[in-house]
């Protein structure tokens, strides 16, 4: 008997072949499903849900369904009104019938008089209670025999009624219910007809009915009451419908307000606004996914930049401080170190700006004396060995000394450092940097200014335009916001400005864009000189072009903070996070200043 070795390659090949065949046969579906992109599948599901909402909304808005539904609702409302009117009529009839019976209905009184009247040996006799009822209502009675003669009458019967009646007279007052204009009610007896007459105008005959004059006077009131009831029913239906709409619209409006603030929302709308609520939820989900992706991207990029940047800065610092390094290489290393530090600060600013934008960094607000914060920042620069060509001045008004405001001191210091670094970076020949703090009734105003080369009016207009549109912590969606007031000569930033502008030279000649030039001997540090993200030489060329051309600007030439650097953008965001604002001022060769206004409460 022979046995196969467990390590026989033939057996291994057979097993692998069977496994490969099974995987190829049974795993096709999983393989195909694995090749599908999860984002693509989610997008297809979202598109399918959107299509279903759209079809459902179109189906509800279709004319046959819409008008059919409205007709059914209107028919139900009319039926309810008719039922209400029917019950109202029955109630009025019962009330009036009870009133007639309580007060003695005319037919009932005529029958009682006809039955109670008796002939005795002494003549005719009417019971006292019946006679009292007749006297109370002012009625009188006559008994007309079959021969036409009046056999008996009450004492108050008029003389005109005491006559001989023929068959025609009897037929007339029996048919029309009037005897000599007196409403008459007939009761037939064995010995003749007992006619009971009421005062003139007390009853009005209607077909075979007699309507009391009190009821006739109340009929308009009943009709008015019925109309008021019907109107009340329609009004109640309108109010209920309006209330339902408002209850559905309220959460939708609230969700849209939150969505405008960048907050995630969920609307549980039902009825006619169900599709609107589902669309808002879908939009909120899309915005949330995009925000999450953007936050992950910023965090990932920042993390990926910091590690190689730290290595580069370490090598550059070792070269700059090393012995025996040529002077040219030392300067290059110092330039690399300086620009790497700038990149590091930009990455930090990017992280802070991203966290402020998405509310990822809650403010650590504490009562803080802004004067101490300003002096602390100035002292840090002086202690760190600020170049002698830069002068720092701190001017705190007496009324602002020691005034505490709710601040996140760490972020405020960051904003002040960005402004100082901006002044140092753009004024390599030196300048005077000043801090001026003033107190007002409900706010503190801190101005950081320099007397350096300044900024062009075009860049300044864009800075103020973007800073004015920065969402504030005290931003009120109910207020009408038209943006900041543009400076003179830059009306294109107003709320009524057209969407497209172009720079037009005299004679409508096209103007070429400013040339960005660089000399061969310019260092990398010289290349980095900019105000608001614009090259100094380009800005000077732009100023020359502005003297030759119309001051009208194009929106695509200057894009706001995106082209003015992240440092100033972060200053505006920090001010807005505290419920304040920032305003920029300056001009070519007139220096540059930023005024931060922070509320005291």
d(CA 204, CA 202): 7
Tokens standing for residue 318: 């070792």
Who wins on pLDDT, 425 or 509? 425
* H, E, C per residue of 339-384: HHHHHHHHHHHHHHHHHHHCCCCCCCCEEEEHHHHHHHHHHHHHHC
Rounded CA separation 536/528 (Å) = 9
* SS3 category, 210: strand
Whole-structure pTM over 0.85, yes or no? no
Cβ neighbour number for residue 335 with a 10 Å cutoff: 17
Q: Which residues contact 543 (CB under 8 A, 6 or more apart)?
A: 456, 588
Q: Provide the pLDDT confidence category of residue 543 given band limits of 50, 70 and 90.
A: very low
Relative to beta strand 150-153, strand 140-144 is antiparallel
Q: Are the C-beta atoms of 332 and 317 separated by less than 8 Å?
A: no
| Rounded Cα distance, 598 and 444, in Å | 5
- If you search the block for the tokens 């409460």, which residue do you land on? 601
Highest-pLDDT range among 222-236, 297-311, 553-567: 222-236
Q: Please say if the pLDDT value at position 92 is more than 50.
A: yes
Give per-residue pLDDT as tens, 469-498: 665 544 344 444 344 444 444 444 444 444
Average pLDDT over the chain reads: 73
Both tokens assigned to 12: 């291994």
Beta strands in 440-529 (DSSP E): 443-450
121-152 burial code (b ≥16 CB/10 A, e <16): eeeeebeeebbebbeebebbbbbbeeeeebbb
pLDDT at 58: 63
Residue 362: pLDDT band with limits 50, 70, 90: low
Higher pLDDT, residue 575 or 220: 575
Phi, psi at 68, each rounded to 5°: -60, -45
Nearest of 486, 460, 484 to residue 591 by alpha carbon: 460
Task: Please write the tens of the pLDDT for every residue from 298-341.
Answer: 777 777 788 888 888 888 888 888 888 898 998 898 889 888 88
Category of 36 on φ-ψ map: left (φ > 0), alpha (ψ -120 to 50) or beta: beta
Give the pairing of strands 150-153 and 118-120: unpaired
Is the CB of residue 200 less than 8 Å from the CB of residue 182? yes
Helix H or strand E encompassing 432? strand 431-439
pLDDT at 288 over 70: yes
Q: What is the mean pLDDT of residues 56-78?
A: 72
Instruction: Calculate helix-pair angle for 327-357, 274-321, nearest 10 degrees.
Output: 160
Angle between helix 63-103 and helix 38-61 axes, rounded to 10 deg? 50
Instruction: Choose among 482, 478, 400, 487: nearest CA to 444.
Output: 400
Please tell me the predicted confidence (pLDDT) of residue 549: 35
Q: What is the DSSP secondary structure assignment for residue 471, as one 8-state letter?
A: P
Top mean pLDDT of 52-56, 107-111, 144-148 is at: 144-148
């Amino acid at each position: 008997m022979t046995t196969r070795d467990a390590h026989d390659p033939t057996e291994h090949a057979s097993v692998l072949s069977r496994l490969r065949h099974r995987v190829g046969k049974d795993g096709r579906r999983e393989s195909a499903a694995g090749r599908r992109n999860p984002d693509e599948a989610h997008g297809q599901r979202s598109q399918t849900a959107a299509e279903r909402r759209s079809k459902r909304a179109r189906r509800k808005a279709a004319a046959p369904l819409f008008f059919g539904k409205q007709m059914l609702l209107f028919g139900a409302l009319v039926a309810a009104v008719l039922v209400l009117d029917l019950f109202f009529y029955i109630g009025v009839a019962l009330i009036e019938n009870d009133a007639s019976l309580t007060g003695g209905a005319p037919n009932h009184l005529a029958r009682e008089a006809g039955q109670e009247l008796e002939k005795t040996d002494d003549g005719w006799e009417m019971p006292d209670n019946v006679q009292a009822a007749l006297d109370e209502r002012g009625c009188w009675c006559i008994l007309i025999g079959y021969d036409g003669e009046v056999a008996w009458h009450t004492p108050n019967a008029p003389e005109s009624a005491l006559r001989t009646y023929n068959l025609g007279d009897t037929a007339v007052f029996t048919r029309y219910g009037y005897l000599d204009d007196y409403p008459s009610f007939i009761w037939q007896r064995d010995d003749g007809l007992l006619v009971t007459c009421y005062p003139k105008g007390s009853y009005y005959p209607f077909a075979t009915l007699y309507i009391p004059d009190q009821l006739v006077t109340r009929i308009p009131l009943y009709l008015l009451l019925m109309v008021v009831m019907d109107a009340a029913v329609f009004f109640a239906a309108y109010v209920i419908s309006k209330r339902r709409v408002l209850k559905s619209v309220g959460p939708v409006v609230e969700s849209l307000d939150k969505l405008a603030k960048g907050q995630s929302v969920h609307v549980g709308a039902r009825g006619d606004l169900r599709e609107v609520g589902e669309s808002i939820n879908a939009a909120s989900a899309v915005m949330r996914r995009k925000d999450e992706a953007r936050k992950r991207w910023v965090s990932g990029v920042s993390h990926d930049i910091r590690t190689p940047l730290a290595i580069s800065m370490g090598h550059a610092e070792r070269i700059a401080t090393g012995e025996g390094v040529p002077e040219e290489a030392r300067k290059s290393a110092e330039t690399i170190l300086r620009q790497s530090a700038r990149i590091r600060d930009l990455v930090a600013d990017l992280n802070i700006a991203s966290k402020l934008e998405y509310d990822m960094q809650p403010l650590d607000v504490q009562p803080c004396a802004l004067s101490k914060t300003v002096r602390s920042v100035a002292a840090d620069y002086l202690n760190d060995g600020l170049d002698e060509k830069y002068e720092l001045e701190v001017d705190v008004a007496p009324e602002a000394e020691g005034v505490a405001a709710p601040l996140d001191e760490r972020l405020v210091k960051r904003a002040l450092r960005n402004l100082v670094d901006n002044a140092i970076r753009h004024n390599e020949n030196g300048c005077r940097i000043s801090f001026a703090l003033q107190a007002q009734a409900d706010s503190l105003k801190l101005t950081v200014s320099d007397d350096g080369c300044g900024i062009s009016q075009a860049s300044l207009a864009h800075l103020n335009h973007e800073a004015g549109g920065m969402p504030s912590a005290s931003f009120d969606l109910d207020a009408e916001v038209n943006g900041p007031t543009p400076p003179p000569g830059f009306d294109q930033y107003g709320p009524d400005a057209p969407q497209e502008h172009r720079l037009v030279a005299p004679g409508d000649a096209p103007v070429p864009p400013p040339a960005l030039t660089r000399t061969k001997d310019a260092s990398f540090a010289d290349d980095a000189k900019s105000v608001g993200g614009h090259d100094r030489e380009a800005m000077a060329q732009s100023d020359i072009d502005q003297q030759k051309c119309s001051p009208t600007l194009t929106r695509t030439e200057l894009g706001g903070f995106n082209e003015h650097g992240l440092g100033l953008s972060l200053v505006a965001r920090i001010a807005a996070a505290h419920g304040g604002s920032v305003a920029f001022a300056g001009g070519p060769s007139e220096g540059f200043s930023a005024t931060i206004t922070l509320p005291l409460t």
